[in-house]
Each structure stands twice: as structure tokens, then as C-alpha cells.
Structure 1
Amino acid sequence: MLLAGDPLPHRPRRILVAGVSGSGKTTLARRLSAVTGIPHTELDALHHGPQWTPRPEFLDDVRHLAARDEWITEWQYTSARPLLAARADTLVWLDLPFPLTLARVVRRTLRRARTREVLWNGNVEPPLHTIFTDRENVVRWAISTRNKYKEQVPEAAAAHPSLTVVRLSSRADVERWMDGPVADLRRGTDDDGS
């Protein structure tokens, strides 16, 4: 498992970004896309249909995405994870402190609920009281799933030995990685000479 300052062994082409809700998966995926030129597909946009129902085409869309030569996406949804991990060459694990990720997801949820921000397929955050009444509420989900990646990432690495795993454990690590190994991709100084 690589850390923030470790050079990448190859130029990534299919990148997964893993982490609990509020860890910054989509934000980092977008930043990586801007640096590398690899297209980012937001997995939530493929998954959520109107009224938060899963889209029937979701897994077909994931298969189509995974079959591409280059992509960046978030590593989430139990049904999609194996399809994506089988094709990925790099997995970036945002293993940030839980108080930070919880604060982020709460702030994001409050902002989205207050502004009625339209998300995927016309969805908006449900009323705030659902934090207490809905087990699937994103804030409750973030709390209940906060430790799952500590098992899932090593399992994926063991199942896919060619998968490069980068573990970032703080905001400083994210910036160190973006300013170091990722910036080297822009300069063309990665190990494979591209």
C-alpha cells in the first residue's frame, strides 16, 4: 500500500476513489480528472433514479464504464465494487479521521437541504428529520459504515494483486499526493516514461 509521498509505479488509467461519505471522493475524483485528463463519471449519477430509486440500468452502465480504457469514479455500491475493482489499476483510499468526515457530511447535508439543491435525476435531500427516522439517511449511513473500508480495501488489494492502492489519511496527505505523485503525472515524470 502506497502513502502520500510514494511515487506511482505506473501512469493510472482506471482510478477508483474510496472512502466513507464525506471523505471527499467526488471532489478528489474531479481534481484527478482535471490533472490527468481522464474522464470522471460520478457513480451516484448512474445509481440514483427519480425519488432516490436505483436505476434499473445501473449495473449495465457500470459494466460499460468499467470496459472503457480510461476512467475515474468513486468506489461505492456493493453491486458495483467488484465490477470496478476487477478493471481498475489504481485505488485511492481516503482514510480520513471520522470526526472530519462526519462534520463534512453533516455540513453538506444541511446545505443541500436548506438550498434544496437538485442532485441526480431531480432528487433533493430529504427533510432533516429523516436523520432520526431513516436508517438510509446519508448522515446515519456515514456513521454506520465508517469502518467498512478497513476491511474492503485490503480485500480488494488481495483479490487484485496488480491494483495499486494509495492510502491517504489526512487532508495534508491528499494535498501532498496531489502536489507530488499526481503533479508528476502532469509533468510526465512517472516511471513508465509517458
Structure 2
Amino acid sequence: MQRIVVYGVTGAGKSTLAAAIGARTGLPYHPVDDLTWEPGWVEVPVAVQRERIAAVCAGDRWVIDSAYQSWIDIASARADLIVGLDLPRWRCLARLLRRTLSRVVTRAPICNGNTESLREVFTRDSIVLQQFRSYPRKKARMRAWVTDPSMPPVVLLRTPAAVRDWLATM
């Protein structure tokens, strides 16, 4: 497997797993948020996102840590494998809250130098609300991919232990 998409809901651990796959296999890891957000939390226009993702996916070796609906067709057409993190909502939400609060306190820069703030947690664009809105759709999408012959092979991992065990086989 030389081209891998790690997919899941917000807070599932996509970036962590994609980075670990890259480190374990030597595949270049491309954090998708760096391709889709500019400084100041300016969202990159979809057409530019598609160009950036197409450039990454044109390569022979890569790992990406998500697949947005607006360009999943590009990534899935080139992927050798999709790893779906099909974890329970409570676990993803707990991870998301812990990660977000840690970033708020430490002001750790993410995706092109952006930082998270407590104020943003309580807006209608909140990453926490995004998790609630997207969870059912992303779960259903992952599960449908398993039986879709037009998709590359899909591995669904449902527990942290399953993630660790699968990663050990890489």
C-alpha cells in the first residue's frame, strides 16, 4: 500500500494515525488541514483545495489524514487503501474536547499557524458542533464504502486496540 487515506469523524485520531503510518512505512504524510486552511482561519476555496489535493494524490506514495466531500473523488481514485476510524461518538467527542481544550490553553499552532480559542468553541462554526453535524454522515459513508466495488479496499477500525493492532502489521 503506497497511497493511503485515513478517514473518520472529527476527533477520531485521523492525523495521529496518518502520521504514525507515515513514520512506520516511510510514506510522505500530508496533513490535509494544511492544504485547506490559510493563516487567520481563512478557508481555501474548493477549487484550490482540489488542485492541492490533486497534486498530492498525483504522487506515487502518500498518506493523507482526511477526505473532504468536495474532493473525495480525487483521493479515492488514486488510493490503494482507505483506513476508516469507525470509533464510537463518545470516544471521538472526548478526544476532540481534550485536544481542543489543550490547544486553547497552550495556544499550540496548527494548520498554517492558526490557533484555537475558547471563543471559537462556542460559535456556530465550532469544531465541536461540526463533529455533531458530520458524525452520522461520515459513519454511514465509511460503512457504505466497504461494500462499494468502485472504492479501493477499506479497513474499518472500531477500537483503539484495533488501531494499534492494525498499525503493528504495517
The answer to whether TM tops 0.5 is yes
| 1:80-91 equivalence runs, <5 A | 80-91=71-82
Partners of 2:141 and 2:107 lie apart in 1 by 33
1:116 aligned onto 2:107 = yes
Contact conserved, 2:15 with 2:65, CA < 8 A, in 1?
Answer: yes
C-alpha displacement of 1:122: 2.4
* Structure 2 gap segments, 5+ residues each: none
Which of 29, 33, 46 pairs up with 1:40?
29
Q: How does 1:153-168 map to 2 (within 5 A)?
A: 153-157=142-146, 158=148, 160-161=150-151, 163-168=152-157
Q: How many residues are aligned here?
A: 167
* CA deviation profile, 1:89-126 (whole Å, cap 9, x unmatched): 10000111111110110011101111111112221113
Q: Which has the higher contact order (CA 8 A, sep 6+)?
A: 1
Instruction: Give structure 1 regions of 4+ aligned residues with deviation exceeding 3 angstroms.
Output: 154-157
The CA distance in 2 between the partners of 1:166 and 1:58, in whole Å, is 26
Distance (Å, rounded) in 1 between the aligned partners of 2:54 and 2:36? 13
Percent pairwise identity: 35
Q: Give CA-to-partner distance per residue, 1:22-77, whole Å, 9 cap, x none.
A: 11101100111111111010000010012111224322111101111111002232
Aligned to 2:91: 100
Distance 2:53 2:82 in 1: 16
Q: TM-score, normalised by structure 1?
A: 0.80
- Residue pair 1:75, 1:84 contacting (<8 A) in 2 also: no
Unaligned runs of 5+ in 1: 1-11, 183-194
**Range that drifts further, 25-34 or 72-81:** 72-81
RMSD over aligned Cα atoms:
1.6
Give matches, 1:46-61, under 5 Å.
46-56=35-45, 57-61=48-52
Kindly state the Cα deviation for residue 156 of structure 1 after the two structures are TM-superposed. Answer: 4.0
Contact 1:85 1:160 (8 Å CA) reproduced: no
1:105-150 superposed Cα distances (whole Å, 9 cap, x missing partner): 0011101111111112221113x24333x22211111122112223
Question: Is contact 1:85–1:156 with CA below 8 Å preserved after alignment?
Answer: no
- The corresponding residue for 2:164 is 175
State TM-score, norm by structure 2. 0.91
For 2:52 and 2:145, the matched residues in 1 are separated by 21
